[in-house]
Amino acid sequence: MIMANETNNIFAGTSGWAYATWKPGFYPAKLPSKQFLPHYATRLNSVEVNYTFRRLASPSLLQGWIAATGPDFRFAIKAHQTITHIKRLRGAEEALDKFLASLEPLREAKKLGPVLFQLPPNLKCDAGRLRDFLATLPKWLRGAFEFRHESWFNAEVYEALKQAGAALCLAESEDLQTPEVTTADFHYLRLRKPANSLKAAQKKVQKLASDGPVYIYFKHEDTPEGALQAEQLLHQKK
């Protein structure tokens, strides 16, 4: 199994792993789908789970994930849509409690990475709403926030995140570039552009890793390019 770098704490992977189209470039040609995650975990040490955006993961499903991965593997979990898109962070305490309770198997196994709260693109900045929601997060949770409307990129929001120890997700897209502002003792990056410069990503990750763990996820594609880039990043020369 791939181990987290003890010095830099770099956790790299992709958004998901269940892609048969990654054969034979990443998965062996004859590998059955039930063996995808165990194989993935021999080459990468983290994955961003989108499954939890639409449904809660059952204990048996999570136990399967835990058994398929090594002790240093981390699952970054996307928050359920009820919290971010239906409640839009307001009055979401019950949904949040239910969601976090469902993740207990991962937490107990020490394999729970950050939880990503990805807000809808049409939700404009409301710093008060954000502060109220941040106050409901348990202290143990590493929360990362992906804002998809440019109005959120301001000093008041950054300060609210800092006070709560939550990270500003550094996400890239064709339409919006997140400012490189550090608000927590860890970093969360989502590389969405198809033509990522691996060299630039390596340089950025090494810089960020000097002051805290870095969780970085390449975009999943029909080809295994993102997974292979994540693997190269993990094995970069120091």
Domain of residue 44 covers: 10-216
Q: Is residue 237 part of a domain?
A: no
Q: Would you state the pLDDT for residue 216?
A: 96
Q: Which residues of 69-99 are buried (b: 16+ CB within 10 A; e: fewer)?
A: beebbbbbbbbbbbbbbebbbeebeebbeeb
Q: Is residue 233 part of a domain?
A: no
Q: Is residue 238 part of a domain?
A: no
The answer for 213, left when phi > 0, alpha when psi is -120 to 50, beta otherwise, is beta
Query: How far is it, in rounded angstroms, from Cα 204 to Cα 54?
Result: 32
Q: Would you state the pLDDT for residue 196?
A: 62
**What's 16's domain CATH number?**
3.20.20.410
Instruction: Give tens-digit pLDDT for 115-129.
Output: 999 999 999 999 999
Q: Would you state the pLDDT for residue 174?
A: 73
Q: Is residue 56 part of a domain?
A: yes
List, for the chain, all residue ranges whose pLDDT scores fall below the cut of 70.
1-8, 194-196, 237-238
Query: How far is it, in rounded angstroms, from Cα 163 to Cα 88?
Result: 21
Q: Is residue 92 part of a domain?
A: yes
Give every CB contact of residue 177 below 8 A, 6+ residues apart in sequence: none
Q: Is residue 224 part of a domain?
A: no
Q: What is the number of structural domains in the chain?
A: 1
Q: Would you state the pLDDT for residue 43?
A: 97
Please tell me whether the peptide bond between 24 and the residue prior to it is cis, using omega within 30 degrees of 0: yes
Q: Is residue 221 part of a domain?
A: no
Q: Would you state the pLDDT for residue 8?
A: 52
Q: Would you state the pLDDT for residue 7?
A: 42
Residue of 186, 196, 188 lying closest to 219 (CA atoms): 196
Beta bridge partners of 190: 171, 217
